[in-house]
Chain A
Amino acid sequence: MAVNIQGIGAVGGFGCGVEALRNALRQGSVPPRQVTLEHPGEAGEEFPAYLAATGELERFIPKRELRRIDHFSKMTLLGACLALEDAALLDGDRSRIGVVVASGYGPLKTTFSFLDSYLDFGYSCSSPTHFSNSVHNAAAAHVAMQLKLTAPNLTVTQFDMSVPSALMTALQWLAEDRVDQVLFGAVDEYCAVLRYCRRQFFGAGEQGPLAPLELARQTAVVGEGAAFFVLARPESAAAYGRIDGVCLGNHQRRPVRLPETDGLIVGADGHHRCGVWYQQVITGRQVAACAPVYGSFPAAAAFDLAVAALALRDGNLTVDEPPGGDGQAVDVSRLACLKFAAGGEYGLIRLSR
């Protein structure tokens, strides 16, 4: 069943809100921030990262209410509030709006803050507040509590496949009439430990600039953020076009079948181990790859979806052929978002006007 996109909320390295994302897309890329490392092994070293600011959340939720809410959940809440605002649903009955949150890694910083509490002070000082905020569904729970969303609430984690996997379930909730709308989104956060791991894995490859269509080269730049959508059944009004379906599989077992005439947005984000799969299926084809606007992280697949939704509303998309060049705008009325994981797992989301 197709569903309509009624609203979008996004916060990331490009700024806050769907118009900030649109402006960044028009420019083609956003300069990441330079972060200085503090870990003794790499102290003083600088590296780029796409980081999200959540100050605007106070426009929606009183500061006191946020006292136990960490950065991960704040990004989630902000994305959710912006999407509801965009869909004009901030006021009124929200009792049949379901919540589906996808995250590749969950609340990393708080996971480590909890470990800090007992590694620093002993097990009897383990912090219950950090513990309960370190579970993956804490962010979805805060969204439900703050926005009084009592319908079904789901958090999914599947690394790079988190977004298409969670979307599949969101679509089925609508098909089974469990909810009238789904607040669907994805979130991931940066933390110093993640940066340490990525540096050990990828070495100097993390210095940027991100060149997503140079598929054989490691050019990923770490990022964070949240992107949310209000999805509704086909009889509703669509502000941004509609999602026709999502398909998940493994390209190694059964090759993905790409729609031949649709515009294509690929989730290539500078990871060469995923790049090999894109190489196999997009050769000779013009595609859009927008990671230089928000960085490389699992939840960024939801930003690709936001790009698709905006392109459908505006009627055009800027595409390129590997290894990337100046890009040109083409008319679009049908689009597909393709995301590969390193093992050949793929998610394909199809959209139309």
Chain B
Amino acid sequence: MTRLAPVAISGLGCLSGAGMNLAENLETLFAGRRYPRPPVRFSTDHPVSYPVLELRSEFTLPLDEQELTYARTSQLALAAALEALADAGLEAMELQKKRVGVCIGTTVGCALNCDDFYRDYKAGSMPELAIIERFLRSNPAAVIARHLQLDGPVQTVVNACSSGSDAIGLGASWLRAGACDLVIAGGADELSRVTYAGFSSLMITDTGPCRPFDVRRKGLNLGEGAGMMILQKSEDAGPQRERGRVLGYGAACDAHHLTAPRPDGAGLKQALREAFAGAGATPAQMAFVNAHGTGTPDNDRTEGRVLREVLPGVPYLSTKGYTGHTLGAAGAIEAVYTVACLNRGEVPASIGFVDVDPEIPVPPVIANTAIGGDMALSQSLAFGGNNAVLILGKGGRR
């Protein structure tokens, strides 16, 4: 892995259970508030109710009638992308003159989880294809490209829970390779009955608010949302438009187990090495780490061990307590938070943490904490053993 040219982040956008835009999200985080509650948008006959973090209000988008029929994931993606474009001061018309790529991570956004349709099909009736047509129209990256009338490369990354981080890292590569003038990169995922059933069946969901890195952690809370970045070549964005920078991206696979992380964290360590090499940076230069920190016993143990070994003394936190685990969006939302926190010079408390786990001797930050430095790291671990690490830099524009 050789050192890579930094890529400028000229706009940020984000929505989650913590807020409908980036400003609201940050307000919630730094106020130490969170809103887990039983799911409202769907129901199941599951005997136990697990709290989730849904969006707390409906979002409004300038969409035409047909676009309003897109799946929720794609609408979330579009909402965050439009916020990021506005933040970058870019008009849709300007984009049509450029070669603009779209690289979006998701899980639910590409799965044919049409259980209503399938129930009818199983029962022997002939269900109509409206749900299938909606699925075929709703590929999140294609939706953004279509809405903005773009003609560059389009890619939906489906690396499970690291998809959002991967999409940003890959989008930065596209720019360096000269394949695009600008890339809209990030992740989006909606809460769904299917993932709710799936994560419950894996017995890794907490019946209360999640407790990342705490000794009594029982599992994750699911969430939904989207995080987006506008990526440009540094020379195109110019320092006054730079909100931040993508400095490094590393990825590696555990090749160990479908759902459990490799206990020694070898894959995560490899991804970290790649990210540091690409950024030409050292662990000691990191102002903080936005950890994956789902609140599941296995994830946090592996991650905690690796952090102590590779990034000793660097403050870390999990923001999953505020947003829940937003799956394919998580890495992107957290990357957006990471840049915003670097610019603010402060990270929020790692909510949900109370007592130290002897297996993770160094606790996350327990209060809003001032940080120095101009680089930070955001990492994701995923089903299938994927590990993705982003090293992000502070912007000229705060």
| Interfacial residues, chain A to chain B (CB-CB below 8 A) | 39-41, 68, 99, 105-106, 108, 111-112, 114-116, 118-119, 122-124, 126-128, 131-138, 140-142, 144-145, 147-159, 161, 165-166, 168-169, 172-173, 175-178, 193, 196-197, 200-201, 248-250, 252-254, 343, 345
Contact = CB atoms under 8 A, between A and B. Distances in A.
Interface in B162-198: 166, 170, 173-174, 176-177, 179, 194, 197-198
Contacts of B384: 135, 137-138, 140-141, 144, 153
Contact of B259 (A123, A132, A172): A132
19 contacts: A41-B124, A41-B125, A68-B258, A112-B118, A114-B194, A114-B198, A115-B115, A119-B115, A122-B45, A131-B198, A137-B158, A144-B384, A145-B255, A147-B255, A157-B156, A172-B179, A173-B173, A250-B150, A253-B96
Nearest to B129: A200
B151 A161 contact: no
Nearest to B43: A123
Contact of A124 (B47, B141, B270): B47
B207 interface: no
B105 to A, nearest CB: 10
Nearest to B110: A157
A343 B149 CA distance: 11
B75 interface: no
Given A131-B201, A135-B160, A168-B174, A250 B151 contact: yes
Given A126-B201, A154-B251, A157-B139, 4 more contacts: A135-B107, A151-B253, A158-B155, A249-B152
Contacts of A200: 126, 128-129
Contact of B121 (A132, A154, A161, A196): A196
A193 to B, nearest CB: 6
A168 B255 contact: no
Contacts of A111: 111-113
A178 B157 CA distance: 18
B146 A153 contact: no
Contacts of A105: 112
A132 B111 contact: no
B126 A41 contact: yes
A62 B140 CA distance: 38
Given A135-B384, A136-B111, A149 B151 contact: no
A337 to B, nearest CB: 16
A145 B258 contact: yes
Given A136-B110, A250-B145, A154 B201 contact: no
B40 interface: no
B325 to A, nearest CB: 14
Interface centre among B107, B110, B252 (most CB of A within 10 A): B110
Contacts of B197: 118, 123, 126, 131
Interface centre among B158, B194, B385 (most CB of A within 10 A): B158
B93 interface: no
B84 interface: no
Given A111-B113, A157-B156, A176 B259 contact: no
A141 B257 CA distance: 8
B350 interface: no
Interface in B130-163: 132, 136, 139, 141-142, 145-146, 149-160
B35 interface: no
9 pairs of A and B residues whose beta carbons are closest in the complex: A141-B384, A131-B198, A253-B151, A136-B158, A40-B124, A153-B253, A152-B251, A123-B46, A126-B201
Nearest to B118: A115
Contacts of A144: 253-255, 384-385
A183 to B, nearest CB: 12
B257 A154 contact: no
B160 A137 contact: yes
Contacts of B203: 128
Given A144-B384, A177-B2, A158 B156 contact: yes
Contacts of A159: 136, 139, 142
B108 to A, nearest CB: 10
A135 to B, nearest CB: 5
Contacts of A115: 113, 115, 118, 194
B132 to A, nearest CB: 5
